[in-house]
Amino acid sequence: MKKAKYDEVKLVKLGESFFTSLGLDPLPATFWERSMLQKPKDREVVCHASAWDVDLNDDLRIKMCIKINQEDMVTVHHELGHNYYYHYYYKLPVLFQNGAHDGFHEAIGDAIALSITPAYLKQIGLIADVPADDKGLINLQMQDALEKIAFLPFGKLIDQWRWDVFSGKTAPEKYNEAWWALRAKYQGLAPPEGRPDPEFFDAGAKYHIPANVPYTRYFLARILQFQFHKALCEAAGHTGPLHECSIYGKTAAGDKLKAMLALGSSKPWPEAMAAITGTKQMDGGALIEYFAPLEKWLDEQNAGKKCGW
């Protein structure tokens, strides 16, 4: 990306161009005037990326210390997904200016980012050729799975730990013990040596715990993004494997997306789901379909082996 002379603004413009290619509105001029895209040189800031509608009146902004790399390109699309949700529901009564449920807000930008395929990157001039061999596909799917599939048990246990604390089930002197019990149960992970309570508070190393940010939204979003992606690909007329689909430039997909965004939380979430997918049920089937090549490869690699902990 550096060879293509991208800077922070150009990277965000790239994200905006994906949304506008679907027929969605450009970002307002104030977005470019009021967003923080670079880490300030004169003061300390929280660089954790976030998106905002500051006064619930289309005052859209993002706050990031952008690095010019693939990871932050995906993060930009994720944050702009929040901004476009804000934009399409901001005229609703303030009580309805929210996602259909917590997972919806986190899934929008991630669903769009699934369209950042090698073919799309070639189309916009960021790569010269699309890898044609299976090795490249498996490498890419493994990289994505380590971020999205491996995340699922972690995404589940964060709020399990928080809820047990809030309910009083986990006492303060057991915070660390309970944390590592969940890590072992759901992830098969253990610390390299003892972490006795109350000397250690390892859960606090996760930003969302001291910041008191509910986390089930991210678990739900990992499911929803693939369901949204499949529905938008179908609207765009895609007929090949799901992992090859990019909806870039497909306004029929954009129409589906806008219809859902505009509802905010004014309807029960199954109705918002139906507006984009045609069904009122959450379903992990699209996630499995997306990673079908990797699942086949893993089955071959693990044949005859006992996996688990």
Hey, which residues are catalytic here? 48-49, 78-79, 82, 106, 208, 218
Beta bridge partner(s), residue 61: 52
| 244 dihedral zone (left: phi>0; alpha: psi -120 to 50; beta) | alpha
Structure tokens at 35: 């967003």
Say how many CA atoms lie within 13 Å of 158 toward its Cβ: 21
Based on DSSP, count helices (H) and strands (E) in the chain, helices before strands. 13, 2
Q: 3-class SS at 240?
A: coil
* CA-to-CA dists, residue 184 to 54, 87, 160, 195, 201, angstroms: 40, 41, 13, 14, 16
* CA-to-CA dists, residue 223 to 219, 220, 309, angstroms: 7, 5, 24
